[in-house]
Structure 1
């Protein structure tokens, strides 16, 4: 536990520079930015790799740390591929630091490791797909929050230090649509691998528990939002609220389940 505490605190500290760096004058996507972002990825990733060591821990604390590591790694890729995505750094890093703090709070909850190799190949694929999906939808939710904050500042004609750093409303919306489209595809793959696991375990393709229902509802909500965007041009605060709703549903179905089983019922 002392080692875990040290790694956890180190991971949180590693995120702090990426929160503060955008506050510097003439902030830009330079070498210092990439160095700080790599440090923000390395901290949580090191903790996850060190604590798992050949087995998958399914407790709430590890779930949150895996989310942080995957989201930060995904954000690096998106910052390379998308022109203005890097401007979301303070929002992404601050949210990940908050999740890291929550992970440390619940680190004392008992856990039972799952051997991925012993459970068969499908569970490994399903875990990777599930983590990737949640990381993408998390980033889409942050982009939606960025668009919401920018639009509110424009309407009030009161820009803040944060909104001056963030991407424009159009850039945030373009990014979140692309993230949602990719997330929808991977979420569909996650549902398929989940059904494969369920069939292998019970002989049934689908078990309608709360996790499955929330995930399927998220899939429908995201699909409806994408359809409305391409058919009617849905955007702005209304679109941002729907994205955040989808993220809430997926959160209830992923770490939310861990919270109920580990903390409330545990």
Structure 2
């Protein structure tokens, strides 16, 4: 069932103030930043709530919107602990706006044939773990991209308006590692819960489908980058490539599988 055009447009428009504030008035008070973050959160929540009033959506557009909402929640939690994280709004909000627009384009595909019904709380816990994992690896990818931009400008002895607004490299490195650890822990827990659900529903503990393969690869890639960071302190381009690869794998495993199921199959 397609979302109304008005809700779709409003959900995107409400992201714009937070992005404009991060770009035009980066030195604004934290109170104003939190106000615009709340406005963006309301925009992200509009479409999912309108769907959840009747059912849990099973389509790719709904999944993207839930992911955007989870990213904002995680972003807000980190900002409450590390105020400098607000400065990443200049990278995060364009990404969220882009994803929201993509969800609008895919909204027509979320018809009643992709409504998800289940009475099992374990299934919903498994879904939530997947959403949190994808949200955390997305933020880690954005943080690593911020580090890459800053290091590139330092190497070239250049700067631009965007990089001057970003957090310091050391601040980003610390948050990046914590996000990767969080993503790995939640991903492992979600994978184990998925195996349990698979076993109790089919009697088979592991089925090597696309989602399973991509998830296992993502776990390995995140584990490798965490190991390399601990042992060698690897950062910069190498870290960005590993994290982006993990992000790509989870994109294929989570919204990618839904996209193929709805459009290709």
Secondary structure of 1:254's aligned partner: helix
- Give the superposition deviation at 1:257: 0.7
* Structure 2 counterpart of 1:7: 7
1:14–1:43: 8 Å Cα contact kept in structure 2?
Answer: yes
* Structure 2 counterpart of 1:194: 194
Answering whether residue 229 of structure 2 is matched by residue 229 of structure 1, we say: yes
TM-score, normalised to structure 1, is 0.94
Question: Where do 5+ consecutive residues of structure 1 fail to align?
Answer: none
2:2–2:107: 8 Å Cα contact kept in structure 1?
Answer: no
2:10–2:43: 8 Å Cα contact kept in structure 1?
Answer: yes
- Which of 104, 113, 116 is equivalent to 2:115? 113
Number of positions where the alignment pairs a residue of Structure 1 with one of Structure 2: 263
Rounded Cα–Cα distance in structure 2 between residues aligned with 1:3 and 1:196: 34
Answering whether residue 243 of structure 2 is matched by residue 243 of structure 1, we say: yes
2:57–2:115: 8 Å Cα contact kept in structure 1?
Answer: yes
Rounded Cα–Cα distance in structure 1 between residues aligned with 2:25 and 2:101: 28
Query: Judging changes above 3 Å, is the alpha-carbon distance between structure 1 residues 26 and 5 closer, same or farther for their aligned structure 2 residues?
Result: closer
Query: Judging changes above 3 Å, is the alpha-carbon distance between structure 1 residues 143 and 26 closer, same or farther for their aligned structure 2 residues?
Result: closer
* Structure 1 counterpart of 2:60: 60
Question: Where do 5+ consecutive residues of structure 2 fail to align?
Answer: none
Residue correspondence of structure 1 range 104-253 to structure 2 within 5 A? 104-109=104-109, 110=111, 111-117=113-119, 120-253=120-253
Rounded Cα–Cα distance in structure 2 between residues aligned with 1:224 and 1:121: 32
TM-score, normalised to structure 2, is 0.95
Query: Judging changes above 3 Å, is the alpha-carbon distance between structure 1 residues 126 and 200 closer, same or farther for their aligned structure 2 residues?
Result: same
* Structure 2 counterpart of 1:24: 24
Q: Deviations over 1:88-107 (max 9, x none)?
A: 11211110100000000011
- Give the superposition deviation at 1:217: 0.5
* Structure 2 counterpart of 1:89: 89
- Give the superposition deviation at 1:84: 2.1
Alignment RMSD = 1.5
- Give the superposition deviation at 1:51: 1.0
- Give the superposition deviation at 1:82: 2.2
* Structure 2 counterpart of 1:45: 45
2:26–2:165: 8 Å Cα contact kept in structure 1?
Answer: no
